[in-house]
Amino acid sequence: MKKLTLFPMALLFVAHLVSAAELKTRLVNVATPEKSDKEVMVFAEAEGRVLWADANDEAMLSALRTAQKEGLYAALRFDDESGKIFGAELLEVGNLEEGYEAKSDKQSIYSPTVMNSLGDAQSLFDRQDGNTKRWSQCFNRAHGWSYDMWNMSGVNSMKVFIFFTQRYIKEYRYRWWFHVAPFVIVQTNSGPVEHVMDVSFSKGPIQMHLWTDMFMKNRAACPTVERYSQYRNNQWEQDCYLIQASMYYRTPKDLELLETQGRQELTWNLNEVREAREEAFRNHRDYNP
């Protein structure tokens, strides 16, 4: 990538690093701090990571906000233990809508598969590839699993995105601002029940509230909303929000574009599936579409 700007590192801080890391990413949000805050939350698109910038470093904050506004890629250097940013380098000018399809006027009706039993859901779960790369991104794992459930078993799964708000992240210094996994609907004696298929965090299908409890240190209930802006614009009212989508939606950006541009995901983009598999799975060459 072409280098555009280099922000100076805080060299004194580098000496105290526990584990230096680098993330090449676009920025989703650079929070506005309160007067008493010593650090500012920085939401990275890659990995769904939340990092922290010095609230007194006006040059750094200005540059990060410019990167967010203009869709610039940045290489963020930070301490992986604390999440503190000590350097940022702009890499290239990017268009926030680059690589996305034009607005679709089609109206899609998506019908998720209803599994006959929890045993059937468990069998489906057991067939998913759990041999993931150590630093894989959740949305790529979820996309690969969803495609496999459809391609190998004919199951139309759903996806659930859990978004952690600034209120929750600040309270617990949480490392992520979102996570996503597939889920299926299982027919039970009391009716259809949603079961999340998160191979990286469970040993089988689990009900939605048990899945969210794994990430919510205070076991807060996460209300389900329909639009991305309902999460983005309400950071202090709740600790978390859920958004459900069809198996075709890969990232939070897809949810945002659905709302702002009416861009629906109507089918599989095989290039995206291959890209997701390559990033997330060790054996991706064995079964890429």
Looking at domain 5-93, its CATH class is mainly beta
Q: Could you tell me what percent of the chain has a pLDDT over 90?
A: 78
Q: Is the pLDDT of residue 238 over 90?
A: yes
Contact 94, 76 (CB under 8 A): no
Q: Is the pLDDT of residue 164 over 50?
A: yes
Q: Is the pLDDT of residue 212 over 80?
A: yes
Using 50, 70 and 90 to split pLDDT, how confident is the model at 201? Answer: very high
pTM: 0.88
From the list 36, 28, 40, the residue with the least C-alpha distance to 84 is 40
The backbone torsions φ and ψ at residue 113, rounded to the nearest 5 degrees and listed phi first, read: -70, 140
Same fold: 5-93 with 114-287: no
Question: Which CATH number applies to 114-287?
Answer: 3.10.620
Per-residue pLDDT, 91: 80
Using 50, 70 and 90 to split pLDDT, how confident is the model at 199? Answer: very high
Domain ranges of the chain: 5-93, 114-287
Strands (E) in 45-177, as ranges, are: 50-54, 72-79, 85-93, 114-115, 158-164
Most confidently modeled range among 8-17, 32-41, 225-234: 225-234
Q: With H, G, I as helix, E, B as strand and everything else as coil, classify residue 188.
A: strand
Query: What's the number of CA atoms in the CB half-sphere (13 Å) around residue 138?
Result: 22
Using 50, 70 and 90 to split pLDDT, how confident is the model at 92? Answer: low
Per-residue pLDDT, 90: 82
Per-residue pLDDT, 109: 84
Per-residue pLDDT, 107: 53
From the list 245, 244, 226, 246, the residue with the least C-alpha distance to 156 is 246
Contact 150, 197 (CB under 8 A): no
Note the residue count of the chain.
289
C-alpha separations of 139 from 35, 144, 206 in Å: 35, 9, 19
Per-residue pLDDT, 270: 95
The dihedral through the CA atoms of 276, 159, 107, 223 has a sign that is negative
Most confidently modeled range among 63-72, 103-112, 122-131: 122-131
Tokens 């541009």 belong to residue: 261
Separation of alpha carbons 106 and 103, rounded Å: 9
Question: Which residues lie across from 184 on neighbouring strands?
Answer: 195
Using 50, 70 and 90 to split pLDDT, how confident is the model at 89? Answer: confident
Token pair in block for residue 234: 């309400």
Average pLDDT value for residue range 256-265: 96
Question: Any long-range contacts for 188-196 (C-beta under 8 Å, 24+ apart)?
Answer: 188/118, 192/114, 194/158, 194/160, 195/115, 195/118, 195/121, 196/160
Q: Is the pLDDT of residue 101 over 50?
A: no
